[in-house]
Amino acid sequence: MVLPEEFGWPQDIGALGILDGAGLPGPGGRFPIEAVRARIGRRLYLLPRFRQLLYTPRRGLGWPLWVDAPAFTIADHVGVFPLAASAGEAQLLAACEELRQRRLDRSRPLWQMWFLPGLTEERVGLVMKVHHAIADGVAGSRPSARSSTSAPMRRPRLRHHGHQRASPTGGSCCATTCIDGCRGSRGSCPDWPTRLAPCAGSGARGLRHARCSPRGVPPGPA
């Protein structure tokens, strides 16, 4: 999902929604972006990929994989794009096109969300853009629903390894990628020790990483 970008073909997908903004503007008619960011931030545990980066190892050390972002600021991902007062459909679509042309920053988690106040009848536009490596097709609508719904959601129970993965260094990314290819199960990949053999030349760091059980390791992006 990332290779086409090397040839100038953006791989992000987007969605447009219209929200009922009655009673939403704060003092002076200003959109309460700080409160909205705080609410969305409290629900990001439901979307682990929204706090991860796509890490590309050096040539020959494996495929791209997801790692935890060393720093995360929600203001980099949730913003306001005000429309002119009483804007109509033409102004809304023009704003969507302008936002669509903004490329996602590969040094940050690959998603962005904008609120577009100013529509008639106190409505607010919502534009969300997600990289194809995170969501595909109908699945692209789920991040928006999970991050913006007001319905309570129970925090999921995580295994001891959680969803986190630090950025690999040296030969460890090679071992990690080989394990990812086994799709997290020795049973479905009986020759996994053989697949890890090429990592022997990657140094002791890679071998130490390879000794961990592949069971439960989340696969990297396609």
Q: Which residues are catalytic?
A: 132
Residues facing 125 on adjacent strands: 18, 116
Q: Strand pairing of 111-117 and 78-80?
A: parallel
Look at residue 172 and give its three-state secondary structure: helix
DSSP alpha helix (H) spans, the chain? 33-41, 89-100, 141-148, 172-181, 192-196, 204-210
